[in-house]
Chain A
């Protein structure tokens, strides 16, 4: 088997796909909370795209990543098939999450963040924690890994913006309700869209739960070389790719993060539009 080959590709929802990739060195080293940077050159130089290590199997030498198509590069990935190859997969990058017995851990995933938080939930469970999973997404069709999360969690709450599955509302409503119903929570791990991580962090600190949030700034090398992933945590500048990506959510400057991730909006749109014109219409997707 050639390194970086997609050994299995599955569509989990319209825009979200699961890739099992042959990368034995990474599979042997991966820990919960770490990520890889993948790159796919079609005819031209591709982008370096960070994605979380969702699962890994050291014996098979494979890793699993779950990717949501939101722009040119991720849409291109989602058009790949089993047997295709990524040009590059480098990792495992970033600091692993500190896994120990915290007591009761709330694991909060929003959208594709559910996939990203899955390995942390799994490791926390194995370390003896009581795990409460809170899964949020816009609508039922976008909900992923519900079964997997239910199987490993002591309690699972689903909430959708439109009420098409689970409770109607936001994950913050669900967490408030859990606490109101006298569930004692010691720590929270949150991965999802920036506003969700921001407001969940605020709520958790108010409720006396230590929040940890996995930040998603724009990354380039992922090795600490370029500084493009600068985030402010507790008034200090950190490089998310080497110091994180998980940080104390109550100390993160989410507004700055949000501004910085929007840096290339116009260019990203242009790139995606050009791609759609060329590929997606032809292949009949969307």
Chain B
């Protein structure tokens, strides 16, 4: 019998005092016993609201019942029918906006911990050696190139390979995974998990080439000649700076730089590794999204006296994942809400010595329904900080559109594409942050799958595989 009123399982969580001293996973995940207990809370709904609210419609009640039957291989395959990177999604999806937010138990009880169950299934199936990569169909004779190795290209590549095409992924960096690798820290998403998911795609026969910057090492035109279709999943890797005076002072990082040093190049282990990162005594992080939370929490783990997040709206409007905001607060990170940066002050050596801010109040709702922050006159004050990390957003990297004149971009710099990922250039498709300008892992994956199916049609092989 289902037992929805039982307490929601949380996994083993490192205490805040412990975890700010390391980069190990904050949540250790469920055990066989707690996973079963959590699975038992699910009502196995007929018209499952959770599945409907998941952007890729993971068959949630179905996989949860397989957990109860101890069939981890079956449960993993069930999830992977629609989501190819379950160990990742279980960890980084904003579940409160999707599956868990829609769970029928909400209101009376706490929702089923779908994310934790999903990652438990993927991890355990992998440990038991029963996680099966989808079987590729017979070779279609077609070749497809995927640009970038973030979640969008990874899922497109897997889907295309499954249809039987030869697929090559080209990645500009020296390691695969996109933001998963260089942006999201190991205490949220262990590096081995990314590597394992990539290996699964490799095991399907997808070929990976690193150190290839498309647009420089090879052009889209050339890829079009060498391949029958091209999928661009190059992400939103261009940091938005705050454009305030003093931003080029020593001690100002973009979140991309700070996170890349720490997550891609492991600078938190310096001097054991060769890439350094600096952290001052008092750190300010500008922004309120996932990047800001990740930058603040990475900063905290490098041992400064204080880390303060400066966000121009209020807590309710913060776009970061709920769990991460909660974790950040527990870890002792301070928040200055309704506050906006004006200027970075530097000493005579050009090093950051302060951040001038003003206070906002919330005004009338804007076109997006969110109340617009308005500056309070005379509210200027200075935060005493020596490091500033700018995490106020990112835009698509312009390298590819600049070198490919026929590719149309919108005023926001994102590639123009139909809902199926078709760009203005025949045979070239795109998805993920390069067309959305910054979204979520799951939406990027979903784009990859939808475009892959459109590519199948374009190549005349259909989607019956």
Contact = CB atoms under 8 A, between A and B. Distances in A.
B62 to A, nearest CB: 39
Interface in B346-384: 349-350
Main SS class of interface, B: loop
Contacts of A221: 172-173, 260
Nearest to A72: B274
Interface stretch (A84-92, A178-186, A207-215): A84-92
A221 B237 CA distance: 11
Contact of B265 (A29, A48, A268, A270): A48
Contact of B256 (A72, A91, A226, A232): A226
Contacts of A223: 172-173, 213, 237, 397, 399
A163 interface: no
B250 A263 contact: yes
A71 B236 CA distance: 33
Contacts, number: 118
Interface in A258-272: 259-260, 262-264, 267-268, 270-271
Interface string A1-45: 000000000000000000000000110010000000001000011
A225 B271 contact: no
Main SS class of interface, A: mixed
B260 A225 contact: yes
Most A C-beta atoms less than 10 A away, residue of B257, B265, B274: B274
Most A C-beta atoms less than 10 A away, residue of B172, B278, B398: B172
B349 to A, nearest CB: 7
A117 B60 CA distance: 61
A117 B10 CA distance: 60
A169 interface: no
A87 B238 contact: no
A220 B238 contact: no
Contacts of A87: 174
Contacts of B265: 45, 47-48, 220
Interface size class of A (residues with CB under 8 A): 35 or more
Contact of B241 (A47, A227, A231): A227
B6 interface: no
A20 to B, nearest CB: 18
Contacts of B31: none
B216 A224 contact: no
A89 to B, nearest CB: 6
Interface string B252-273: 0110110011000110011111
Contact of A226 (B174, B211, B248, B257): B257
Nearest to A73: B274
Given A90-B212, A225-B397, A232-B248, A45 B217 contact: no
Contacts of B174: 39, 48, 87-88, 90
B274 A44 contact: yes
Contacts of A268: 276
A237 B239 CA distance: 13
A266 B218 CA distance: 38
Interface in A226-254: 226-228, 230-232, 237, 242
Interface string B179-214: 000100000000000000000000000000011110
Contact of B278 (A48, A230, A231, A263): A263
A271 B276 contact: yes
Most A C-beta atoms less than 10 A away, residue of B182, B257, B349: B257
Given A48-B265, A264-B278, A259 B250 contact: yes
Nearest to A232: B248
A26 B217 contact: yes
A18 B271 CA distance: 27
B399 A228 contact: no
A162 B220 CA distance: 52
Interface string B395-418: 001110000000000000000000
A92 to B, nearest CB: 6
B239 A267 contact: no
Given A223-B399, A262-B250, A270-B271, A256 B350 contact: yes
A126 to B, nearest CB: 23
A220 B399 contact: no
B260 A25 contact: no
Nearest to B394: A225
A190 B462 CA distance: 57
A75 B173 CA distance: 23
A230 B172 contact: no
B275 A47 contact: yes
A45 B274 contact: yes
A39 B211 CA distance: 10
Contacts of B241: 227, 230, 237
Contact of B399 (A224, A230, A263): A224
A45 B256 contact: no
A228 B213 contact: no
Interface string B132-176: 000000000000000000000000000000000000000011100
Contacts of A39: 174
Contact of B218 (A25, A226, A227): A25
29 contacts: A25-B217, A26-B217, A44-B273, A47-B275, A48-B174, A73-B274, A90-B211, A91-B217, A220-B265, A221-B260, A223-B172, A223-B173, A223-B237, A223-B397, A224-B237, A226-B256, A226-B257, A227-B257, A230-B247, A232-B248, A256-B248, A259-B250, A259-B349, A263-B250, A263-B251, A263-B278, A264-B276, A267-B276, A274-B271
Give me the 8 closest cross-chain CB pairs, A-B, nearest first: A225-B237, A226-B257, A267-B276, A90-B211, A259-B350, A47-B274, A227-B254, A228-B257
Given A91-B217, A220-B261, A230-B247, 4 more contacts: A90-B213, A223-B213, A228-B257, A230-B248
